Chain A
Amino acid sequence: MPYVLPVLFALVIVALLPLVAGYIVLVERKVMADMQVRLGPMRVGPHGLLQPIADAVKLLLKEDIIPESADRLVFWGAPLISVTTAMVALAALPIGPFFQIAELNIGLLFILGVSSLGIFGIVLGGWASNSHYSLLGALRSAAQLVSYETSAGMAIVGALLLAGTLSTRGIVQAQAQTEVWFIFAAPVGFFIYLVASIAETNRAPFDMPEAESELVAGYMTEYSGFRWALYFLAEYTNMIVVASIATTLFLGGWLRPFASTSYLDFLDWLPPLLMAGVAGYCFWRAPKQPVAVQKMFMAAVGLLCIVLALVLIMPMAAPRDSFLASSKAGIHGAFWFLFKVGAYIYVFMWLRFTFPRYRFDQLMRLGWQFLVPLSIVNVMGIGVGLALHRQLNWPAAPALILGIVLTLVAGAYLLATGEKHEHPRVGEEEEEETPVNA
C-alpha cells in the first residue's frame, strides 16, 4: 500500500512530461518570436496552441533511419539512456510538500548522480552514429559537461552548507525556518549555478555540442523521427530538472514569497487571480479568432484556467480544519514550485536569444579559469560566514554578507587577471612547435 501514491505520481509525471516538454518548446518559439518582433506559430489552433501536438504527430510518423555503418544496438539504446536518466532524476524532486515520488536522505546527490549519467546517452549516440559531426558533438558535450559539473557541484555545496542536509524536502524546510531563500544568502552561488546549468543542458550561448553552423546538429545529426524526439524530450526534461534543483536550493522550493510574514498573507490570492486573468484574456480574445473551431478552443482554454483558479481558491474559501483547507499547502506549494521553475526556464530562453554563441576555447576558459575558482572561493566565503555566525555568535546577516563580499572581491580579481589571457597572441603556439634543425 505505501507504494500506491508514489507509483501514481510517477505515472502522472511520465505521462505528462512529453506534453509539458512540447509546450515548453512552443513557449520558447513564442518568446523567441516576441523578442524578434514576430508572431511565431499561429496556424495550428488559436495562437498556435496545438502546434506541439502537430509536431509530435509529425515526429512519430517520420521515417526512422539507422545509418548502415552505425553500431545498431548502441545507436538504438543511447536515446533511451538520455530519457531514462532525465526522468529518474525527477523522482526525488518535491513539487510542493505533498507531491514527491521518493523522499531520500541523499535526495540532492541522487538527482545530481542520476542526471550526470545522462551524458552517456549523448556520447554513445554520437559515437554509434559513425559520423564525424556526431562524434565531434559528442566529444564537445563530454568535455563541456565534465567541466561545468565541477563548478555546479561546488555552487550546490555552498547552498548545502547553509541547509545542513541533503534531503530536498529538508533544504526547503531549512529555508522556511531561516525565513531567507538561499539566493539571498549565497547570490554568487546562484549565479554560478545558473551559468553552469545552462552549459550542462547544452543551451545557447553554450550550445557547442549542437552548434548548427559548425556541426549540423552535433550528436543528433544522424537521428530522425522518434529517436530524435527522445533526445529532445531528454533535453527539455533536463532543463526542468536543473530548474527544479535551482528552485529547491536557491529559490525557496514550494514556499510563497514572504511565507512566514502573516500580514502579507494576501499574496495567497495571487495564484487564483493570475489564473482568472489568463481566463479573462482567453475569453476576450476568443471572438476575434478567425475560425469557429479556434474560437471554441480558445474558450475551452479559458474554462480550464477558470477551473484551475477555482481549485486554487477552494482551500482558502473552505472552513478551517476541513480537509480542503489542509490541502492548501500542497496545492499552492505546487503552484509556486512550478511558477518558479517556469521563471527559471524563461531566463534560459531570454539568455538564449540575447547572447551569441561562445567559442570552444572561451567556453573552457570561462569554466576552468573563472567559474571553478570562483565557486571554490564561494564555498570558503559561505564557510567563513557560517563559522563567524555559529562559532563566534555573530548575527547571521553581517557574517554572511562578509562572506559574500569576500567572494565578490575574489571574483573581481579573477576577472581583472583573466583579461590578460583573453586574446592570446596569434602564432605563439606555432613558434614553439618549430623544430630547431628545420
Chain B
Amino acid sequence: MLDQVVFYFFAALAIVSAILVVTRRNAVQSAIFLVTALLATAGIFLNLNAEFLFIVQVILYAGGIMVLFIFVIMLVNLDVALHQVQFNRQWFVALIISAVLAAQVAAAIAVSRRTLYTMPAAPAESLQPNTERVAFYLFHTYVLPFEIASILLLVAMVGAVVMAKKRV
C-alpha cells in the first residue's frame, strides 16, 4: 500500500515536472524542473529497492550533468531568446503526431496485457546487497559490453577535447 502511494507520488512528480520542462520559456526554470524530474525517477528506483541505481542517478544526473547544464545556460545569454518569436507555430501538426504516438503506445500496452507474459517482480532479498550485485554483473557477466561502452565514451571525450582545442 505504502509502496503504491510512494510510487504514484514520484511518478506524478516526474510527469508534471517533465511537462513543465518543455513548457517553461525560461531555460533556467526548465533546467530546475528537469532536475526535479530526474530526482523523482531516482525516488522510483529507491522504491524498487535499487539503492545503487538511485544514488548513481542522483550523483551523475542531478549532481553532475545538470550542474553542467545550468553552467552552460548561464554562460550563454538566453535572455535574448526569451523575447524572440518562438518557432512553435506548427503545434497543430505536433499535436496530431503526439496523439498518434500516444494511441500507439496505449494499444501496445493493451495488446501485451492479454497476450504477452509479464515478468513477476523479483523478491526483495534477491536484490541485496545491491552494489555488489551490480558490480558482479558489470565486471563479470557483462564485462565485454561494459568495456566497449567505456571505450566508446572515452573516444567521444577525446573527440570533444580535440574539437575544442585550437592547437593539438
One digit per residue, 1 when the CB lies within 8 angstroms of any chain B CB and 0 when it does not, for chain A 107-119 equals 0011011101101
* Chain B residues near A (Cβ < 8 Å): 28-29, 32, 35, 51-52, 54-56, 58-59, 62-64, 66-68, 70-71, 74-75, 128-131, 166-167
Asked whether B63 lies within 8 Å of A119 as measured between CB atoms, the reply is: yes
Closest residue of B by beta carbon distance from A128: B28
A71-B29 Cα distance, complex, nearest whole Å? 10
Asked whether B74 lies within 8 Å of A105 as measured between CB atoms, the reply is: no
Asked whether B59 lies within 8 Å of A109 as measured between CB atoms, the reply is: yes
Of B68, B71, B131, B166, which is within 8 A of A432 by CB?
A: B166
Asked whether B128 lies within 8 Å of A110 as measured between CB atoms, the reply is: no
A314 close to chain B: CB less than 8 A = no
Bin the interface of chain A by size.
20 to 34
A120-B32 Cα distance, complex, nearest whole Å? 9
Closest residue of A by beta carbon distance from B68: A146
Closest residue of A by beta carbon distance from B39: A117
Q: How many A-B residue pairs have CB under 8 A?
A: 72
Of A106, A120, A123, A135, which is within 8 A of B52 by CB?
A: A106
One digit per residue, 1 when the CB lies within 8 angstroms of any chain B CB and 0 when it does not, for chain A 296-326 equals 0000000000000000000000000000000
A236-B114 Cα distance, complex, nearest whole Å? 58
Closest residue of A by beta carbon distance from B57: A113
Asked whether A117 lies within 8 Å of B63 as measured between CB atoms, the reply is: yes
Given contacts A106-B130, A123-B71, contact A113 B63 (CB under 8 A): yes
Contacts of B129 on A, CB cut-off 8 Å?
105
Ordered by A's residue number, 14 sampled pairs between the chains whose C-beta atoms are within 8 Å are A104-B51, A106-B51, A109-B55, A113-B55, A116-B64, A119-B67, A120-B70, A124-B32, A124-B70, A135-B74, A139-B74, A142-B68, A143-B71, A146-B64
Which of B28, B63, B75: most chain A CB closer than 10 A? B63
Contacts of B131 on A, CB cut-off 8 Å?
105-106, 166
Asked whether A105 lies within 8 Å of B71 as measured between CB atoms, the reply is: no
Contacts of B67 on A, CB cut-off 8 Å?
119-120, 123, 142, 145-146
